[in-house]
Amino acid sequence: MPSPDRMPDTEPSGWLDRRFPVTGFLRREYVAFPMPRNLNTLWSFGAFLIVTMTFMIASGLFLAINYTPDITQAFASVETIDRQIPSGWFIRSLHMGGVTMLFACLYIHLGRGLWYGSYKAPRELLWLTGLGLMLMIMVTAFAGYVLPWGQMSYWGATVVLNAVHAIPLIGHPLSELLLGGETLGNIALHRLFVLHFTMAFAILGVIALHVAALHVVKSNNPTGIDPTSPAQTLPFHPYYTSRDGFALCLFLMVYAGLVFFLPGLLTLADNYIQANPLITPRDIRPEWYFAPFYAILRAAPSRLGGLILATGSLAVLFALPWLDRSSIRPATRRPLVRLSLPLAFASFILLGVAGMHPPTEAWLIVSRVAMAWWFIHFLLVMPLASEREIPS
């Protein structure tokens, strides 16, 4: 009679698990994975981000096959995709709409983490990998925005690269590394194409790290109190897969509405004009998802000062786990933060609106006030609240 360790496998899953235990891992981490019972809809935005990124990479591969990274042919190749390649307009709209939906979900996902204190111990690494992903997506989106070689692409990139050039010591070498010369040209366009293409796959790797970090420390929840017994949790499947699946259907309806019925919202009209270095647009505006940082860049009296402040507006988020030392997680249980954080959210929205308008005196004042409150909240209010609060 054969020994137990040599008994034949009676089920395909058992045969595979004995040789490559991936099914057991998937079952443990994505089916039976314990989730808090009280998660709300805001926790579905992480799933939205993964689905949108899948659409972005799939459509990006198609676009890359048909794109020519040459300043004399780039604009024409994009027009060819839109007008001549079967379903090319749909794939490009799916890609452009994906950027809008990706950043919308990203900012909501970030706001949820701020409101519910998801950056606090033991989730610091989860928070930092998420912010790293956001920076990578921003760099990828900036590189991709230049590729169509439209008027706003060219001049928007010029503004950013001029700001980089203002950095002492490293600014000039860094801009030359990006440009391959003194101005935007073929070398710069080719390098940005390669950067855009390769960063997309690097983002997938960091997403894997982010999800791995989540599975180590488990998910936060609206109360900020981690479950202490199995009775306080639910398995991820079928409870949260069904709920996220329903929410995803609604999300895809909005996505489809944007792609099919509101394509004019996906990019600025000037970007349908081929780039001309000799003609400056009347008003250089970024896409909405970069507008808050563009408003900060303009609000400072110098390019270097604007770059420092724009960079600092993101740096405070990386420092937040150490700026906010309170053991209380959700803002709902923190009176001072409950008042200050919505104002910080409003400041970010105001900066976005200001960044989409010409830099008149009124909009510059709005930008400076909103920027000031953003920094006050993170650098003053959060440390002060940490000192004054008593855990309940």
Average pLDDT, the chain: 92
Flag whether pLDDT at 143 surpasses 60: yes
CA proximity to 153, closest of 310, 262, 62, 281? 281
Tokens of 229: 């017994």
Which domains does the chain possess?
Answer: 33-278 (1.20.810.10), 285-392 (1.10.287)
Query: pTM score, two decimals?
Result: 0.93
Classify 124 as helix, strand or coil: helix
pLDDT tens profile 328-364: 999 999 999 999 999 999 999 999 999 999 999 999 9
CA proximity to 329, closest of 232, 229, 222? 222
35's enclosing H/E stretch is strand 34-36
pLDDT tens profile 274-301: 999 999 888 888 999 999 999 999 999 8
How confident is residue 303, by pLDDT bands cut at 50, 70 and 90? confident
First to last CA, the chain: 64
CA proximity to 133, closest of 214, 67, 61? 214
Asked whether the beta carbons of 147 and 67 are under 8 A apart, the reply is: yes
CA 89 remoteness from chain centre: 24
Tell the residue number behind the tokens 């997309």, with chain if given: 200
Output the known binding site for heme b: 95, 109, 196, 210
Adjacent-strand bridge partners of 36: 233
Cβ atoms within 10 Å, residue 186: 14
Round to whole Å and give the CA distance between 93 and 85.
Answer: 13
Output the known binding site: 95, 109, 196, 210, 215
Classify 374 as helix, strand or coil: helix
Flag whether pLDDT at 98 surpasses 70: yes
Separation in Å, CA 137 to CA 157, 192, 233, 294, 390: 16, 14, 33, 16, 38
Tokens of 186: 């073929």
Alpha carbon dihedral 196, 59, 267, 272, in 10-degree steps, equals: 90
Residue 224 backbone zone (phi > 0: left; psi -120 to 50: alpha; other: beta): left
Output the known binding site for a ubiquinone: 215
